[in-house]
Structure 1
Amino acid sequence: MLIAPPLSLYIHIPWCVKKCPYCDFNSHAQVGGLPQDAYVTALLADLDRDLADFGEALADRPLRSIFFGGGTPSLFSPDAIARILDGVGKRLSFDRDIEITLETNPGTVEHGRFDGYRGAGVNRISFGVQSFDDEKLHRLGRIHSASDAARVVGEAREAGFDNFNIDLMYALPDQDLAGAARDIEQAIALAPTHISHYQLTIEPNTLFAARPPTLPDSDAAWDMQEHCQQMLADAGYAQYEISAYAQAGRRSTHNLNYWEFGDYLGIGAGAHGKLTDAASGTIRRRAKQRTPRAYLDHAGAPRATASTVEIASLDLPFEYMMNALRLVDGVPMNEFPQRTGLGIEAIASTLAAARKQGWIREGLEILRATDEGQRFLNDVIAMFLPAPADDGRRPSA
């Protein structure tokens, strides 16, 4: 039986000071002044459109988390962030312990802004550090230095933030194991509550794709991952997802909602959302206009939405597994029918094949990949794809 899961909100701020050569996110280099007031107005109009379209499916569902992503949300002033959160709060209720995260670039946060962000309602910061090696930061196109990162973490802590994440990448251009370990050591020294540690990969349509740097080979990258995982574990950061490590009680509520196949509204240029309507038995995805100009031009109008699709039942096993199997501890097996509306029989034969391969743990209560399954997770998830003849999608009414 399909049951509406927890609800989150993602807010996309698409501008950066400059585009990093590895980045394939929907981000755009800032040219001239930022249209903060117009964009805040557009975001709230965008939310109003979603509420009008999905109102019945959103009734009595408080927000579990809010995440400001980008781009570089810290380019926006505390007053702009406060306007957004005030507007959201007038339209939707908040869980009492709601998590509200703001992504920040250590090179864009002016002294004193953290006080303003905290006053606006933000209670968690995510720092896009990526490395503590200035040479590596330069090659990654980052605008901050290692000392900038340490400074802004200290400023956030002085402003009262006791819950923050540090993003780090490994397998960087010409990086060795010792260099990856030094990055972990310096991150741990700053005592974040959460560390995201993920491998740099070359994505299409990026500067690195056009002019690839020399990256460590797959064996060297695996050695870095294993070594850094152990360092993090020894320091009290438990791995709970492929690239996420947290102190006790400090897992990311927002990201967990994604991985547990929860629902989320997405507002902003290029933002994506997913919403379950238990009454009609449908799960829909919605995407917004990708470019800031098109998004602003059509704010609140139907054309601000680029697409709305209903996820066909044939696609649901893959969509679910693509998220849930990333969790190290897995998910309760009974959540599959609750989150998809499908019976366990829809995945029984594929689960049996994956268990025979040694990629899914035995047992009927918890759905969880083995250590070998985690290493070859893309192959495991691909087993749940529908047959090629089924396109699995249809436009929503």
Structure 2
Amino acid sequence: MTLTPPPLSLYVHMPWCVRKCPYCDFNSHGVRGTPAYGEYVDALLADLDADLRDMGEALHGRTVGTVFFGGGTPSLFSPELVGRFLDGAKSRLPFAAEAEVTLETNPGTVEHGRFDGYLAAGINRISFGVQSFDNAKLHRLGRIHSAGEAVKAVRSAQDAGLDNINIDLMYALPDQDLAGALDDVDQAVTLAPTHISHYQLTLEPNTAFAANPPPLPDDDAAWTIQEACEVRLADAGFGQYEVSAYARPGRRCAHNLNYWRFGDYLGIGAGAHGKISDVGGVRRRWKTRLPAAYLAAAGQPARVGGDSYVDADDLPFEYMLNALRLIDGVPMADFTERTGLAPDAIAGGLMRARGRGWLVDDPTVLRTTALGQRFLNDVIEAFMS
């Protein structure tokens, strides 16, 4: 199977945070002592070198269009260390002239460096994990910042010259009502970000909340909140382009769009996942999760936690898991271009989904209906092998 190389992104995982939140199932580890931040940046560059050696032919001549520092709390790393990594990455791979470079940031004052420093280092997009502007809700979520600190942090980033800012908000929080969820949206809009991510709190396995569930709104109440918040965001000029993403015109997140369109991405850092299209098909590689093990294996084969090609029978599900999140959908031709499979591979799933009114009846596009968006998990399951 030979695939046309899609756009390429770079994901960089920074695994430490001040304290793990009770709802979080990401590969994050609470700070104990002083983590080896500088040594970790060295390990990231060694990891990138090794991936480039291993996948050289599949990456030859390709340009990085977006970079995303995720975590954990990437802003625990100083601007100088972030800049050292970016300089090293650019010396190894060509970057697009207007590459989008995002840093996830928590609003707590102990969790980020100076924003003008991040801007000088090459960051041009900041994503703030605010989650709520209600101090009682923040406490319940285990967040260590206050609503006031969140407001101050966003304004500080804007004052430093960062004009592409996302605010993460969660809804259907413990004991949250519709008025509280709408107030969170209103306060976020007042800060004039360019992008708002608005997603439902869910109980993920192996988290503190899963072990001791808090009282959450039921499904009907959560749906009412979601619909009302969608209207409020639209009225404020934020267009919904993905299940949980809303943006000002021209400010959609290019990095996440590449994920949802089944593009390629290198994943470096402890627990990072990557996807690369090559002559063997769609290749997924992930790194060992524990920071200590990752550091000990810097640039060595032991840093890789797994490396395999996606089975052709599983590709339709993996593709739909991403593409159907987009409100406008994707051209039908993209399915074959990104997976190497003929349209016949999804004929059964299309028949089931269209028969239930979940997908628009248009042979040129893969796009959910309003009903399909509400039952998106069921739509995607229609394409399981």
Superposition TM-score tier, normalisation by shorter sequence: over 0.9
Q: 1-side partners of 2:343 and 2:43: how far apart?
A: 42
Q: How does 1:72-91 map to 2 (within 5 A)?
A: 72-91=73-92
Please say if residues 359 and 380 of structure 1, whose CA atoms lie closer than 8 Å, have aligned partners that are also in contact: yes
Q: Name 1:393's counterpart in structure 2.
A: none
Q: Name 2:309's counterpart in structure 1.
A: 310
1:137-188 Cα deviation digits (max 9, x unpaired): 0000001000001001111011100101000000000000000000000000
1:352-378 Cα deviation digits (max 9, x unpaired): 221111011011111101111111111
Q: Name 2:216's counterpart in structure 1.
A: 215
Q: Name 1:66's counterpart in structure 2.
A: 67
3-state SS in 2 of match to 1:119: helix
1:218-255 Cα deviation digits (max 9, x unpaired): 11100000000000000000000000000000000000
1:9-43 Cα deviation digits (max 9, x unpaired): 00000000001011010000000112111100000
Q: Name 2:296's counterpart in structure 1.
A: 297
Q: Name 1:327's counterpart in structure 2.
A: 326
Q: How does 1:233-248 map to 2 (within 5 A)?
A: 233-248=234-249
2:351 is the alignment partner of 1:352: yes
Q: Which amino acid aligns with 2:40?
A: Y
Identity over aligned residues, as a percent?
65
3-state SS in 2 of match to 1:385: coil
Please say if residues 24 and 205 of structure 1, whose CA atoms lie closer than 8 Å, have aligned partners that are also in contact: yes
1:109 CA drift (Å):
5.4
Q: Which amino acid aligns with 1:311?
A: V
Q: How does 1:159-170 map to 2 (within 5 A)?
A: 159-170=160-171
2:17 is the alignment partner of 1:16: yes
Please say if residues 75 and 112 of structure 2, whose CA atoms lie closer than 8 Å, have aligned partners that are also in contact: no
Normalised to the residue count of structure 1, the TM-score between the two structures is 0.95
Q: Which amino acid aligns with 1:256?
A: L
Q: Which amino acid aligns with 2:334?
A: E
Please say if residues 76 and 113 of structure 2, whose CA atoms lie closer than 8 Å, have aligned partners that are also in contact: no
Moved more, 234-243 or 344-353: 344-353
1:33-79 Cα deviation digits (max 9, x unpaired): 12111100000000011100001100111001000000000100001
Please say if residues 193 and 250 of structure 1, whose CA atoms lie closer than 8 Å, have aligned partners that are also in contact: yes
Q: Name 1:376's counterpart in structure 2.
A: 375
5+ long unaligned stretches in structure 1: 387-397
Aligned length: 384
Q: Which amino acid aligns with 1:266?
A: G
Q: Name 2:338's counterpart in structure 1.
A: 339
Q: Name 2:195's counterpart in structure 1.
A: 194
Q: CA RMSD in A?
A: 1.0
Q: Which amino acid aligns with 1:214?
A: P
Q: Name 1:253's counterpart in structure 2.
A: 254
Q: Name 1:28's counterpart in structure 2.
A: 29
Q: 2-side partners of 1:305 and 1:110: how far apart?
A: 29
5+ long unaligned stretches in structure 2: none
Q: Which amino acid aligns with 1:149?
A: A
Q: 1-side partners of 2:92 and 2:226: how far apart?
A: 43
- Residue 348 to residue 112, structure 1, CA distance change in 2 (3 Å): closer
Q: Name 1:285's counterpart in structure 2.
A: 284
- Residue 313 to residue 108, structure 1, CA distance change in 2 (3 Å): farther
- Residue 216 to residue 152, structure 1, CA distance change in 2 (3 Å): same
1:278-298 Cα deviation digits (max 9, x unpaired): xx2411000100000110010
Q: Which amino acid aligns with 1:191?
A: A
Q: 2-side partners of 1:49 and 1:379: how far apart?
A: 39
Q: 2-side partners of 1:260 and 1:46: how far apart?
A: 26
Please say if residues 282 and 311 of structure 1, whose CA atoms lie closer than 8 Å, have aligned partners that are also in contact: yes
Q: 1-side partners of 2:112 and 2:263: how far apart?
A: 36
Please say if residues 165 and 194 of structure 2, whose CA atoms lie closer than 8 Å, have aligned partners that are also in contact: yes
Q: Which amino acid aligns with 1:102?
A: L
- Residue 42 to residue 195, structure 1, CA distance change in 2 (3 Å): same
1:97 CA drift (Å):
1.2
Normalised to the residue count of structure 2, the TM-score between the two structures is 0.98
Q: How does 1:119-138 map to 2 (within 5 A)?
A: 119-138=120-139
Q: 2-side partners of 1:214 and 1:67: how far apart?
A: 33
1:111 CA drift (Å):
8.0
1:125-145 Cα deviation digits (max 9, x unpaired): 000000000000000000100
Q: 1-side partners of 2:242 and 2:309: how far apart?
A: 27
Q: Name 1:390's counterpart in structure 2.
A: none
Q: 2-side partners of 1:255 and 1:109: how far apart?
A: 27
- Residue 75 to residue 5, structure 1, CA distance change in 2 (3 Å): same
